[in-house]
A = this chain, B = another copy of it.
Amino acid sequence: MRAWPRRPEALRLGGTVVSRPWHLQPPDFLEIEAAHARLAPHLDVTPLLEAPAVNAHCGARVLIKPECLQRTGSFKIRGALNRLLQLTAEERARGVVAFSSGNHALAVASGAQQLGIAAVIVMPSDAPRTKIEGTRALGAEVVEYDREREDRAAIAERLQQERGLALTPPYDDRRIVAGQGTLGRELALQLRARGVQADVVATGCSGGGLVGGCATAFAALSPATRVWAVEPARFDDTARSLAAGERVANAAVSGSICDALLVRMPGALTFEINRRLLAGAVTVTDAEVIAAMRLVHEAFGIKVEPGGCVGLAALMHGRIPLQEGIAAVILTGGNIDDDMHRALLAPGTD
């Protein structure tokens, strides 16, 4: 069930088979390997941590991958750089455009600054100020929009066409998925080096690029490990899409503390990958997320943003079935300002 044609040339949409451009086809593991070779000089290797307090809370052995310590504070730099490093000289000269609620924005801005590429980022005006200001501080031009009323993809597309910018989407692109997949590759190899075979990997899911890339890596490196997507309550578009067998959208567009995970619906490419490779998708509440943030800060002294620890929240609250009692969890991002982090962790907020 986990295999797919190496280079599927066509996609079935509403009964019609249409051909697709290369960048909308699923990456295979060799492409993740190639992305790793491309990215390694630019990235940190985040550690694999374990703490008795976390194991006790989860009733299982839980290995924690704090990717929030990655450059730019999230895994997003992997996909962004994998796209930017494959631009032609001409594309580099014209610049890139991206849309993002924050972490992908920081990643594209940072990667572009490092490579000397101009970047325009379309961000919702209700994104955390730390993310909007951080993106501007990295030299990017930020275009704000109203999440409730405007379509970010349409704004980005207009900028792309008007100014000849290369689109660097947050998830629905094989180069992005392969880049995020390098995190799954790194995790799988760290588990192997430690002599551990994880039952499950749990990670947050918004558009589905990270979980899809990780599932692709684990299918190759540790096929017995089941990869789960975790979403905030009311933003369970991937869970409902998996159940429906087709992409469905969320009714809500705001109203969760997990600002990084408020996508409207799964990507076309990422859903194609995830429906084949995921064990499933589960949800967690804001209160469960806060409990996980607190546990991470107490056990490891690491600050995680709400959307960054939904995977751990799901394990703490028994949402994900384990066979052997061994789980790996990715902490995907840590971009939350200190005041907000303090306020969320204050006693009585969960």
Q: Which residues of A pack against B, CB within 8 Å?
A: 44-50, 66, 68-69, 71, 73, 294, 297-298, 300-304, 334, 336-338, 341-342, 345
Contacts and interface: CB of A to CB of B under 8 A. Distances in A.
Contact of A302 (B45, B71, B303): B303
A192 B46 CA distance: 17
A73 B71 CA distance: 22
Contacts of A345: 338
B73 A301 contact: yes
Nearest to A304: B301
Contacts of A300: 69, 334
A125 to B, nearest CB: 24
A37 B74 CA distance: 32
A301 B302 contact: yes
A311 to B, nearest CB: 17
9 closest Cβ pairs, A-B complex:
A301-B303, A301-B334, A44-B47, A47-B47, A46-B47, A298-B338, A45-B47, A301-B302, A68-B301
Contacts of A342: 342
A303 B68 CA distance: 13
A194 to B, nearest CB: 8
Contact of A303 (B45, B50, B294, B303): B303
A150 to B, nearest CB: 31
A49 B45 CA distance: 9
Nearest to A73: B301
24 contacts: A44-B47, A44-B48, A44-B49, A44-B50, A45-B45, A45-B47, A47-B47, A50-B71, A66-B69, A69-B300, A69-B302, A73-B301, A294-B338, A297-B303, A298-B338, A300-B334, A301-B302, A301-B303, A301-B304, A301-B334, A301-B336, A302-B303, A338-B345, A342-B342
Most buried by B among A47, A50, A337: A47
A69 B44 contact: no
A199 to B, nearest CB: 21
A337 to B, nearest CB: 8
A301 B335 CA distance: 8
A338 B342 CA distance: 10
Given A46-B47, A69-B302, A302-B303, 4 more contacts: A44-B48, A49-B69, A298-B338, A300-B334
Contacts of A47: 44-47, 69
A71 B342 CA distance: 25
Contacts of A49: 44, 69
A71 B52 CA distance: 10
A300 B69 CA distance: 6
Most buried by B among A66, A69, A73, A345: A69
Most buried by B among A48, A303, A304, A334: A303
A21 B345 CA distance: 52
A293 to B, nearest CB: 11
A297 B302 CA distance: 8
Nearest to A305: B301
Given A66-B69, A69-B49, A69-B66, A297 B44 contact: no
